[in-house]
Amino acid sequence: MTPQNMAAQSPPSSLTIRNPATGSVVGTVAVTPVAEIDAVVARARAAQPAWAALGLDARAACVKGAIATLKARAGEMGALACAEMGKPLKEAIGEAGYANDSLGQEIDEIVAALRVELLEDEKTSTRLLFDPLGVAAVITPWNFPILMPTQSVIPALIAGNTVVFKPSEVSPLSGDLWARCMIEVLPPGVLQIIHGDGVQGSALVRSAVDLVVFTGSRATGAAIMRDASAGLKRLLLELGGKDPLIVLEDADIKAAAQFAVRNSFRNAGQVCVSTERIYVADKVADAFVQAVVDGARALTQGDGACETTQIGPMASARQKKIVMDQLRSAIADGAKCVVGECDGANPSEGNFIRPTVLTGVTHAMSIMRDETFGPVASIMRVSSDAEAVALANDSPYGLGAAVYGSQARATRVADQLTAGMVGINQGCGGATGSPWVGARQSGLGFHSGKYGHRQFAQVRSVSRAK
């Protein structure tokens, strides 16, 4: 092998992060050599007993020590997220602000969930204890690079685990800054960062960790399950969705259309609970489609750093290709582009895709079966509530769903949907303390809320006779 070929085969020593809107370099991070990952995990293993021995309240107090720094640097984190993955600056700073401002309350909820619980009957008294699992590998996605570490790393730490954290290679800079703010207040080895792509991720999963926490695609989730299977490791996997919206004939059409526009196009559709499939009663379909089209046309697209931008670019050229391949395939199979990227106008340059509305779609099309993760609203007419339910459930996914209609009718429909989270005349997010949970192939395990926080721990039952 020639020296030139040897260089071509060598793994990269760093990642160069470019702004997807402008192509300019945002920064670089050093890639963690695969050969060093076992040593990183060994340091985490060595640090774990002392971290666990501190006790629940002391660990919580230690983690809370980072809140002031996190809040102070929220604007910096948001600006990095905007630059490295294209999210509008206001939304990116809002993500950082929400994650950091709510962290104290979140920690208190985690502590409450992990306290010893007492169960008693006439003969037996049982204590439920929530012990650390050991070392947790946390691998987070590029679309919410600040919020997802907060929701995955923090409960793992409070539960007494040490954590090896790998942010996405697409948007590692904001996650790296978040983690370094945390590391400042933690004992050595309790939280460590590695960087890289799927090569490093796979090596981390195959290393001597006890728990793998991952948010990302279904295909990567399946690969993680294979890599983790030899060690029978605990898994918490959120694996995306193909969320349906059902619009009943007695729905508030204006409100339903506003939700569809917001939830289909927010963050350029790069949200796990984006609305990707819309089933609308034939009687109100014309009015609904027109309202969605008007809403899509009114959105301002551009560089996320511009104050007027509402929709940024795709986070990468790879992501744009996935969406465009689905769009072209659907149109070739008979779908109609009413407005957006394939409506006959000049195609968008760079990584941009205009907010797009399709009609005439069917479940034979990839765009109604496979996760799109782009700014596309695909609308299908239905003749009955039963047809809408059957179509909404005709998917291997089951993360979120929404139903718009009169309260009683929408509730009846919502109760028939196979999804982990369903919203009635709203998005799928629940009240404070609700879990973030998927059904079917949208997840294995779940996070947030009392029962989600407990999945970062080993439940131990200790019983005695009364």
- Nearest-Å Rg of the Cα atoms of the chain is 23
Q: How far apart are CA 239 and CA 241, in angstroms?
A: 7
Q: Point out which residues pair with 247 in neighbouring strands.
A: 280, 404
Contacts of 353 (CB under 8 A, 6+ apart): 268, 313, 314, 320, 323, 324, 340, 341, 374, 375, 376
* Beta bridge partners of residue 237, listed in sequence order: 214, 444
Alpha carbon distance 238, 95 (integer Å): 19
- The torsion of the CA quartet 364, 366, 370, 374, rounded to 10 degrees, works out to -140
User: Sign of the CA dihedral 134, 135, 139, 140?
Assistant: positive
Distance from C-alpha of 131 to C-alpha of 456, rounded to nearest angstrom? 9
Encoded amino acid at 145, one letter = P
Q: How far apart are CA 215 and CA 173, in angstroms?
A: 18
Instruction: Identify the burial level of 20 via C-beta atoms within 10 angstroms of its C-beta, where 0-12 means exposed, 13-18 middle and 19 or more buried.
Output: buried
Strands (E), 56-193: 117-120, 124-132, 135-139, 162-166, 191-193
Taking the C-alpha atoms of residue 443 and residue 214, their distance in angstroms, rounded to an integer, is 10
Pairing of strands 336-339, 356-359: antiparallel
> Which amino acid is it at 86?
G
Q: Give the rounded distance of the alpha carbon of 423 from its chain centre.
A: 18
43 φ/ψ angles, rounded to the nearest 5 degrees:
-65, -40
Tell me if 308 sits within 8 A of 300, measured CB to CB: yes
The set of catalytic residues is 238, 272
